[in-house]
Amino acid sequence: MDAKIRRIERALEALEPKEADCTICPRDCRVDRRKGPAGVCGSGVRAGISTGLLHYGEEPVLSGRAGGAPEGSGGAPPRGSGTIFFTGCNLKCLFCQNYQISWEGRGRILTEDELAALMLDLQARGAYNINLVSPTHVIAPILRALRAALAGGLRIPIVYNSNGYEKVDVIERLAGIVDVYLPDLKYFSPEVSKKYSGASDYFAHASQAVEEMFVQRPDLVLDDEGLAREGLIIRHLVLPGRVEDSMAVLDWIGRTLPPDTALSLMSQYHPCYRAPEDIRRPLGAEEYRAVVDRARALGLTQLFIQPEVFGTDDHLVPDFERGDPFRWRPQEK
Protein backbone atom coordinates (compact mmCIF):
# COMPACT_ATOMS: atom_id res chain seq x y z
CA MET A 1 0.00 0.00 0.00
CA ASP A 2 2.91 2.33 0.64
CA ALA A 3 3.79 2.10 -3.07
CA LYS A 4 0.24 3.11 -3.96
CA ILE A 5 0.35 6.03 -1.57
CA ARG A 6 3.63 7.19 -3.11
CA ARG A 7 2.06 7.01 -6.57
CA ILE A 8 -0.86 9.08 -5.31
CA GLU A 9 1.54 11.71 -3.98
CA ARG A 10 3.23 11.92 -7.37
CA ALA A 11 -0.10 12.05 -9.22
CA LEU A 12 -1.32 14.87 -6.99
CA GLU A 13 1.84 16.87 -7.63
CA ALA A 14 0.83 16.88 -11.30
CA LEU A 15 -2.94 17.19 -10.92
CA GLU A 16 -3.46 19.66 -8.08
CA PRO A 17 -1.99 22.63 -9.97
CA LYS A 18 -4.61 22.02 -12.67
CA GLU A 19 -7.37 22.90 -10.20
CA ALA A 20 -6.31 26.54 -10.44
CA ASP A 21 -6.70 26.63 -14.23
CA CYS A 22 -8.63 23.49 -14.94
CA THR A 23 -7.50 21.28 -17.80
CA ILE A 24 -8.27 17.99 -16.06
CA CYS A 25 -10.52 16.79 -18.88
CA PRO A 26 -10.85 17.50 -22.61
CA ARG A 27 -13.31 20.34 -21.96
CA ASP A 28 -10.30 22.50 -20.99
CA CYS A 29 -12.51 25.02 -19.18
CA ARG A 30 -9.46 26.85 -17.70
CA VAL A 31 -11.44 27.96 -14.63
CA ASP A 32 -10.12 28.35 -11.09
CA ARG A 33 -11.94 25.66 -9.17
CA ARG A 34 -10.40 26.77 -5.87
CA LYS A 35 -12.86 29.70 -5.96
CA GLY A 36 -15.90 27.40 -6.04
CA PRO A 37 -17.95 25.24 -8.41
CA ALA A 38 -17.09 26.07 -12.02
CA GLY A 39 -16.71 24.75 -15.54
CA VAL A 40 -18.82 22.27 -17.49
CA CYS A 41 -18.71 19.81 -14.60
CA GLY A 42 -19.78 22.45 -12.08
CA SER A 43 -17.34 21.23 -9.45
CA GLY A 44 -14.96 22.90 -7.02
CA VAL A 45 -12.01 21.27 -5.31
CA ARG A 46 -14.10 19.03 -3.10
CA ALA A 47 -16.03 16.03 -4.36
CA GLY A 48 -19.81 15.90 -4.09
CA ILE A 49 -21.52 12.56 -3.84
CA SER A 50 -25.09 11.47 -4.28
CA THR A 51 -24.77 8.14 -2.57
CA GLY A 52 -22.38 5.35 -1.63
CA LEU A 53 -23.86 1.85 -1.55
CA LEU A 54 -23.40 -1.83 -2.17
CA HIS A 55 -24.43 -2.26 -5.80
CA TYR A 56 -25.62 -5.63 -7.08
CA GLY A 57 -26.33 -4.67 -10.69
CA GLU A 58 -22.82 -4.20 -12.06
CA GLU A 59 -21.01 -6.86 -14.09
CA PRO A 60 -20.77 -10.13 -12.11
CA VAL A 61 -16.99 -9.80 -11.78
CA LEU A 62 -17.62 -6.57 -9.85
CA SER A 63 -20.89 -7.17 -7.98
CA GLY A 64 -20.79 -10.93 -7.53
CA ARG A 65 -22.36 -13.53 -9.74
CA ALA A 66 -25.95 -13.03 -10.90
CA GLY A 67 -28.55 -15.30 -9.41
CA GLY A 68 -26.70 -15.95 -6.18
CA ALA A 69 -23.24 -16.66 -5.00
CA PRO A 70 -19.97 -16.11 -6.83
CA GLU A 71 -18.57 -19.47 -7.89
CA GLY A 72 -16.52 -20.93 -5.06
CA SER A 73 -17.95 -18.65 -2.40
CA GLY A 74 -19.66 -21.52 -0.62
CA GLY A 75 -23.17 -20.31 -1.34
CA ALA A 76 -23.09 -16.93 0.35
CA PRO A 77 -25.08 -14.21 -1.44
CA PRO A 78 -23.10 -11.62 -3.38
CA ARG A 79 -21.87 -8.73 -1.26
CA GLY A 80 -21.88 -6.17 -4.06
CA SER A 81 -19.65 -3.47 -5.47
CA GLY A 82 -18.91 -0.54 -3.13
CA THR A 83 -20.20 2.11 -5.46
CA ILE A 84 -19.81 5.85 -4.94
CA PHE A 85 -21.75 8.16 -7.27
CA PHE A 86 -20.08 11.53 -7.66
CA THR A 87 -22.17 14.56 -8.49
CA GLY A 88 -21.55 16.62 -11.62
CA CYS A 89 -20.11 15.28 -14.85
CA ASN A 90 -17.69 16.48 -17.50
CA LEU A 91 -19.64 14.91 -20.38
CA LYS A 92 -23.35 15.42 -19.60
CA CYS A 93 -25.13 13.27 -22.17
CA LEU A 94 -28.60 14.55 -22.99
CA PHE A 95 -30.13 11.13 -22.29
CA CYS A 96 -28.32 10.52 -18.98
CA GLN A 97 -30.14 8.10 -16.67
CA ASN A 98 -28.33 9.68 -13.73
CA TYR A 99 -29.31 13.24 -14.71
CA GLN A 100 -30.40 14.03 -11.14
CA ILE A 101 -26.76 13.91 -10.11
CA SER A 102 -24.84 14.51 -13.37
CA TRP A 103 -26.86 17.55 -14.53
CA GLU A 104 -28.75 18.71 -11.46
CA GLY A 105 -25.94 18.10 -8.97
CA ARG A 106 -28.16 16.63 -6.28
CA GLY A 107 -26.03 15.37 -3.44
CA ARG A 108 -23.70 16.64 -0.77
CA ILE A 109 -20.12 17.81 -0.63
CA LEU A 110 -17.79 15.63 1.43
CA THR A 111 -14.50 16.47 3.01
CA GLU A 112 -11.70 14.17 2.03
CA ASP A 113 -11.77 12.53 5.47
CA GLU A 114 -15.50 11.86 5.05
CA LEU A 115 -14.92 10.35 1.63
CA ALA A 116 -12.12 8.16 3.00
CA ALA A 117 -14.41 7.06 5.84
CA LEU A 118 -17.11 6.13 3.31
CA MET A 119 -14.63 3.96 1.39
CA LEU A 120 -13.58 2.21 4.60
CA ASP A 121 -17.21 1.74 5.63
CA LEU A 122 -18.05 0.09 2.30
CA GLN A 123 -15.09 -2.23 2.76
CA ALA A 124 -16.23 -3.06 6.30
CA ARG A 125 -19.70 -3.90 4.94
CA GLY A 126 -18.17 -6.49 2.62
CA ALA A 127 -17.81 -4.61 -0.68
CA TYR A 128 -15.63 -6.40 -3.20
CA ASN A 129 -14.20 -3.15 -4.49
CA ILE A 130 -14.52 0.64 -4.41
CA ASN A 131 -16.34 1.61 -7.60
CA LEU A 132 -15.84 5.31 -8.41
CA VAL A 133 -18.66 6.41 -10.74
CA SER A 134 -17.91 9.55 -12.79
CA PRO A 135 -14.57 10.25 -11.11
CA THR A 136 -12.91 12.24 -13.92
CA HIS A 137 -13.69 15.80 -12.83
CA VAL A 138 -13.04 15.10 -9.14
CA ILE A 139 -9.96 12.95 -9.50
CA ALA A 140 -7.82 15.19 -7.28
CA PRO A 141 -10.12 15.10 -4.20
CA ILE A 142 -10.65 11.38 -4.81
CA LEU A 143 -6.90 10.78 -4.71
CA ARG A 144 -6.56 12.84 -1.53
CA ALA A 145 -9.31 10.74 0.08
CA LEU A 146 -7.85 7.50 -1.26
CA ARG A 147 -4.49 8.35 0.28
CA ALA A 148 -6.18 8.64 3.68
CA ALA A 149 -8.27 5.49 3.15
CA LEU A 150 -5.22 3.43 2.17
CA ALA A 151 -3.37 4.67 5.23
CA GLY A 152 -6.46 3.66 7.24
CA GLY A 153 -6.49 0.09 5.92
CA LEU A 154 -8.33 0.10 2.57
CA ARG A 155 -7.31 -3.09 0.74
CA ILE A 156 -9.98 -3.85 -1.86
CA PRO A 157 -9.52 -3.04 -5.59
CA ILE A 158 -10.19 0.46 -6.91
CA VAL A 159 -12.51 0.59 -9.93
CA TYR A 160 -12.39 3.67 -12.19
CA ASN A 161 -15.89 3.81 -13.70
CA SER A 162 -15.70 6.62 -16.24
CA ASN A 163 -17.58 8.02 -19.22
CA GLY A 164 -14.32 7.72 -21.19
CA TYR A 165 -13.98 11.44 -21.94
CA GLU A 166 -10.51 11.64 -20.46
CA LYS A 167 -7.14 13.24 -21.00
CA VAL A 168 -4.57 10.53 -21.61
CA ASP A 169 -1.94 12.33 -19.50
CA VAL A 170 -4.31 12.18 -16.50
CA ILE A 171 -4.87 8.46 -17.02
CA GLU A 172 -1.10 7.97 -17.18
CA ARG A 173 -0.90 9.44 -13.66
CA LEU A 174 -3.27 6.75 -12.36
CA ALA A 175 -0.94 3.86 -13.25
CA GLY A 176 -0.52 1.58 -10.25
CA ILE A 177 -3.35 3.34 -8.37
CA VAL A 178 -6.42 2.14 -10.29
CA ASP A 179 -6.86 -1.63 -10.30
CA VAL A 180 -9.83 -2.03 -12.65
CA TYR A 181 -10.61 0.39 -15.44
CA LEU A 182 -14.29 0.46 -16.40
CA PRO A 183 -14.54 3.11 -19.14
CA ASP A 184 -17.44 3.73 -21.47
CA LEU A 185 -16.68 3.86 -25.16
CA LYS A 186 -19.92 5.56 -26.11
CA TYR A 187 -19.57 6.89 -29.62
CA PHE A 188 -17.39 6.63 -32.71
CA SER A 189 -18.76 9.37 -34.94
CA PRO A 190 -17.97 13.02 -34.06
CA GLU A 191 -21.44 14.01 -35.29
CA VAL A 192 -23.14 11.58 -32.94
CA SER A 193 -21.04 12.52 -29.91
CA LYS A 194 -21.59 16.21 -30.63
CA LYS A 195 -25.32 15.77 -30.92
CA TYR A 196 -25.83 13.81 -27.71
CA SER A 197 -22.96 15.00 -25.53
CA GLY A 198 -21.69 18.24 -27.05
CA ALA A 199 -18.26 16.67 -27.59
CA SER A 200 -17.25 16.10 -31.20
CA ASP A 201 -13.79 15.02 -29.99
CA TYR A 202 -15.18 12.27 -27.76
CA PHE A 203 -13.79 9.28 -29.63
CA ALA A 204 -10.42 10.93 -30.26
CA HIS A 205 -9.90 11.28 -26.51
CA ALA A 206 -11.73 8.19 -25.29
CA SER A 207 -9.94 5.83 -27.67
CA GLN A 208 -6.54 7.12 -26.55
CA ALA A 209 -7.57 6.83 -22.92
CA VAL A 210 -8.76 3.24 -23.42
CA GLU A 211 -5.48 2.32 -25.11
CA GLU A 212 -3.55 3.73 -22.14
CA MET A 213 -5.80 1.83 -19.72
CA PHE A 214 -5.05 -1.33 -21.66
CA VAL A 215 -1.30 -0.66 -21.41
CA GLN A 216 -1.65 -0.41 -17.63
CA ARG A 217 -4.10 -3.26 -17.04
CA PRO A 218 -4.03 -5.54 -20.09
CA ASP A 219 -5.47 -8.67 -18.48
CA LEU A 220 -8.70 -9.11 -16.57
CA VAL A 221 -7.42 -10.96 -13.51
CA LEU A 222 -10.02 -12.74 -11.38
CA ASP A 223 -9.63 -14.12 -7.89
CA ASP A 224 -10.78 -17.54 -6.68
CA GLU A 225 -14.36 -16.27 -6.37
CA GLY A 226 -14.44 -14.96 -9.95
CA LEU A 227 -14.15 -11.33 -8.89
CA ALA A 228 -11.97 -8.79 -10.67
CA ARG A 229 -8.66 -7.97 -9.01
CA GLU A 230 -7.40 -5.89 -11.91
CA GLY A 231 -7.99 -5.31 -15.60
CA LEU A 232 -9.96 -3.40 -18.18
CA ILE A 233 -13.66 -3.77 -18.97
CA ILE A 234 -14.99 -1.51 -21.73
CA ARG A 235 -18.67 -0.61 -21.59
CA HIS A 236 -20.78 0.32 -24.56
CA LEU A 237 -24.42 1.37 -24.27
CA VAL A 238 -26.31 0.64 -27.48
CA LEU A 239 -28.52 3.56 -28.53
CA PRO A 240 -31.74 3.18 -30.53
CA GLY A 241 -31.25 3.93 -34.22
CA ARG A 242 -27.47 4.16 -33.78
CA VAL A 243 -26.46 0.57 -34.44
CA GLU A 244 -23.99 1.69 -37.12
CA ASP A 245 -22.13 3.80 -34.61
CA SER A 246 -22.05 0.83 -32.22
CA MET A 247 -20.63 -1.34 -35.00
CA ALA A 248 -17.89 1.23 -35.63
CA VAL A 249 -16.96 1.22 -31.93
CA LEU A 250 -16.80 -2.59 -31.95
CA ASP A 251 -14.78 -2.67 -35.16
CA TRP A 252 -12.23 -0.34 -33.58
CA ILE A 253 -11.97 -2.58 -30.52
CA GLY A 254 -11.55 -5.61 -32.80
CA ARG A 255 -8.78 -3.86 -34.78
CA THR A 256 -6.97 -2.36 -31.82
CA LEU A 257 -7.22 -4.64 -28.80
CA PRO A 258 -6.86 -8.41 -28.29
CA PRO A 259 -9.94 -10.63 -28.74
CA ASP A 260 -10.08 -11.43 -25.02
CA THR A 261 -10.57 -7.77 -24.09
CA ALA A 262 -13.56 -7.67 -21.74
CA LEU A 263 -16.51 -5.84 -23.29
CA SER A 264 -19.81 -5.12 -21.58
CA LEU A 265 -22.57 -4.50 -24.10
CA MET A 266 -25.36 -2.65 -22.39
CA SER A 267 -29.00 -2.81 -23.45
CA GLN A 268 -30.40 -0.72 -20.63
CA TYR A 269 -31.01 2.47 -22.58
CA HIS A 270 -34.15 4.30 -21.61
CA PRO A 271 -35.02 7.72 -23.02
CA CYS A 272 -34.39 10.04 -20.10
CA TYR A 273 -34.07 13.71 -19.35
CA ARG A 274 -33.45 15.70 -22.57
CA ALA A 275 -33.07 12.76 -24.96
CA PRO A 276 -33.55 14.21 -28.48
CA GLU A 277 -36.47 13.16 -30.61
CA ASP A 278 -34.50 10.62 -32.69
CA ILE A 279 -33.59 8.57 -29.60
CA ARG A 280 -36.79 9.17 -27.69
CA ARG A 281 -37.76 5.53 -27.83
CA PRO A 282 -36.50 2.32 -26.21
CA LEU A 283 -33.79 0.22 -27.81
CA GLY A 284 -35.17 -2.56 -30.01
CA ALA A 285 -34.27 -6.12 -29.04
CA GLU A 286 -33.22 -6.77 -32.65
CA GLU A 287 -30.90 -3.75 -32.54
CA TYR A 288 -29.18 -5.05 -29.44
CA ARG A 289 -28.93 -8.55 -30.92
CA ALA A 290 -27.27 -7.19 -34.07
CA VAL A 291 -24.57 -5.49 -31.99
CA VAL A 292 -23.98 -8.62 -29.90
CA ASP A 293 -23.72 -10.66 -33.10
CA ARG A 294 -21.12 -8.24 -34.45
CA ALA A 295 -19.04 -8.56 -31.30
CA ARG A 296 -19.14 -12.33 -31.62
CA ALA A 297 -18.32 -12.17 -35.35
CA LEU A 298 -15.26 -10.08 -34.50
CA GLY A 299 -14.10 -12.94 -32.27
CA LEU A 300 -14.41 -11.01 -29.00
CA THR A 301 -14.52 -13.70 -26.35
CA GLN A 302 -15.09 -11.92 -23.02
CA LEU A 303 -18.54 -10.42 -23.44
CA PHE A 304 -20.92 -9.31 -20.73
CA ILE A 305 -24.41 -9.29 -22.16
CA GLN A 306 -27.60 -8.03 -20.57
CA PRO A 307 -30.55 -10.41 -20.80
CA GLU A 308 -33.16 -7.96 -22.05
CA VAL A 309 -33.78 -4.44 -23.30
CA PHE A 310 -35.61 -2.03 -21.00
CA GLY A 311 -38.72 -1.47 -23.13
CA THR A 312 -40.95 1.46 -22.30
CA ASP A 313 -41.07 0.73 -18.57
CA ASP A 314 -39.00 3.19 -16.60
CA HIS A 315 -39.19 1.53 -13.19
CA LEU A 316 -35.63 0.21 -13.62
CA VAL A 317 -34.16 3.66 -14.17
CA PRO A 318 -32.34 4.74 -10.99
CA ASP A 319 -34.01 7.34 -8.82
CA PHE A 320 -31.45 9.12 -6.68
CA GLU A 321 -34.20 10.59 -4.53
CA ARG A 322 -34.64 7.13 -3.01
CA GLY A 323 -32.38 5.66 -0.35
CA ASP A 324 -31.69 2.74 -2.67
CA PRO A 325 -31.84 4.13 -6.23
CA PHE A 326 -31.52 0.73 -7.90
CA ARG A 327 -33.34 -2.46 -8.47
CA TRP A 328 -31.00 -5.36 -8.91
CA ARG A 329 -30.54 -6.28 -12.56
CA PRO A 330 -28.84 -9.62 -13.22
CA GLN A 331 -26.31 -9.89 -16.01
CA GLU A 332 -25.05 -12.92 -17.82
CA LYS A 333 -21.64 -13.58 -19.16
Q: What one-character-per-residue DSSP string does 110-164 give?
A: --HHHHHHHHHHHHHTT-SSEEEES-GGGHHHHHHHHHHHHHTT--SPEEEEE-S
Helix (H) or strand (E) holding 266: strand 262-266
Total residues binding ligand SF4 (CB under 6 A): 15
Binding of ligand SF4 at residue 253 (CB under 6 A)? no
Among 90, 129, 246, 267, binds ligand SF4 (CB under 6 A): 90
Q: Least distance in Å: CB of 16 to ligand SF4?
A: 13
Closer residue to ligand SF4 (CB): 39 or 60: 39
Region of 18-26, 107-115, 227-235, 293-301 interacting with ligand SF4 (CB under 6 A): 18-26
Q: 237 in helix, strand or coil?
A: strand
Closer residue to ligand SF4 (CB): 41 or 115: 41
Binding of ligand SF4 at residue 174 (CB under 6 A)? no
Closer residue to ligand SF4 (CB): 41 or 159: 41
Closer residue to ligand SF4 (CB): 73 or 208: 208
Work out the burial of residue 33: count CB atoms within 10 Å of its CB; fewer than 13 is exposed, 13-18 middle, 19 or more buried: buried
Count Cα atoms within 13 angstroms, Cβ side, for 49: 22
Give the span between the Cα atoms of 252 and 242, in whole angstroms: 16
Q: Least distance in Å: CB of 84 to ligand SF4?
A: 17
Q: What one-character-per-residue DSSP string does 170-222 give?
A: HHHHTTTT-SEEEEB---S-HHHHHHHHS-TTHHHHHHHHHHHHHHH--S-EE
Q: Which residues in 202-221 contact ligand SF4 (CB under 6 A)?
A: none
Radius of gyration of the chain (CA): 19
Binding of ligand SF4 at residue 260 (CB under 6 A)? no
Binding of ligand SF4 at residue 25 (CB under 6 A)? yes
Q: Least distance in Å: CB of 288 to ligand SF4?
A: 31
Binding of ligand SF4 at residue 283 (CB under 6 A)? no
Q: Are 52 and 82 in contact (CB under 8 A)?
A: yes
Closer residue to ligand SF4 (CB): 39 or 141: 39
DSSP annotation of 308: S
Q: 6 in helix, strand or coil?
A: helix
Binding of ligand SF4 at residue 40 (CB under 6 A)? yes
Work out the burial of residue 129: count CB atoms within 10 Å of its CB; fewer than 13 is exposed, 13-18 middle, 19 or more buried: buried
Binding of ligand SF4 at residue 332 (CB under 6 A)? no
Binding of ligand SF4 at residue 28 (CB under 6 A)? yes
Closer residue to ligand SF4 (CB): 40 or 279: 40
Q: Are 96 and 272 in contact (CB under 8 A)?
A: yes
Q: Which residues in 112-151 contact ligand SF4 (CB under 6 A)?
A: 137
Give the span between the Cα atoms of 246 and 288, in whole angstroms: 10
Q: Least distance in Å: CB of 317 to ligand SF4?
A: 25
Residues that bind ligand SF4 (CB under 6 A): 22-25, 27-29, 31, 38-41, 43, 90, 137
